[in-house]
Structure 1
Amino acid sequence: MRKFIKGFSYAFAGLVYAFKSQLNLKVHALSAFVVSLAGYWFKLSYSEWLWIIASIGIVLMAELLNTAIEKLVDLVSPEIHPKAKIIKDVAAGAVLIAAITAAGIGLVIFIPKILQYAA
């Protein structure tokens, strides 16, 4: 049981490291906070919240995995190498796809609410 609980401390340490060192993670976390406030303001439905929560989780997870991949590549290939660049670029591309998808979901959910509120 101690090992299980210790695993949470390692995970938390990883989150703290990533949040302190990665500007993009801070931007995504701030975006998640703003979207959550907007969701509260517009009184999202249960299913809309599920989509928003899933989108936020996927983007943050992608950013964390990207950070881990970047650090691993730096460890195994400290010098600049074309294949190392490809690995980092593909990992960053995964974050971009996750963020674009989340933005699309947000637009589908929030645009009708904004238009209704403005009318």
Structure 2
Amino acid sequence: MLMDSRDKQVQLWKSFSYALAGIKTALWSERNMRIHFFVSLLVIGCSIFFSISKLEWLFVIVAIGGIFSLELVNTAIERVVDLVTDDYHPLAKQAKDLAAGAVFIYAIIAVLVGSTIFLPYFFRWLI
């Protein structure tokens, strides 16, 4: 049976609602996701305050979007590993550690991007 365009639209909206439910779950249940969220609000506030350039906005958006995306993937990996086994297993630990390491590396990159963008504005504002 073929789906009409209305059924496809309903499926599309359902998939969006599932994605939003995942984001909401992560924000409510994951401390690091909340930290990233509040830091991103601070960064957006600074971006508006300093009137950063369009190119700088692009870097800020990629940094924020990347860290949220990686944190969601990290959380998903942790949940799947926890679902598969309650017992300690070295490979389960490695999977969780590797995913956390990816978030950590991207967070360092995001801090470097933010420092490169905002430190000159901050020093000009002080002087």
Give the TM-score normalised by the residue count of structure 2: 0.91
List 4+ stretches of structure 1 deviating above 2 A: none
- Per-residue CA distance 1:35-63 (angstroms, 9 max, x = gap): 00001010100000000000000001010
Decide which of 35, 40, 61 is 1:27's aligned counterpart: 35
Residue segments in structure 1 that go unaligned for 5+ positions in a row? none
**In structure 1, distance between residues paired with 2:120 and 2:34:** 28
Paired residues for 1:72-91 under 5 Å: 72-91=80-99
Equivalent residue number for residue 38 of structure 1: 46
Decide which of 1, 10, 13 is 1:5's aligned counterpart: 13
Residue segments in structure 2 that go unaligned for 5+ positions in a row? 1-7
Question: CA RMSD, aligned part only?
Answer: 0.7
- Per-residue CA distance 1:43-95 (angstroms, 9 max, x = gap): 10000000000000000101000000000111112211111000000000000
Equivalent residue number for residue 61 of structure 1: 69
Letter aligned with residue 21 of structure 2: A
Aligned residues: 119
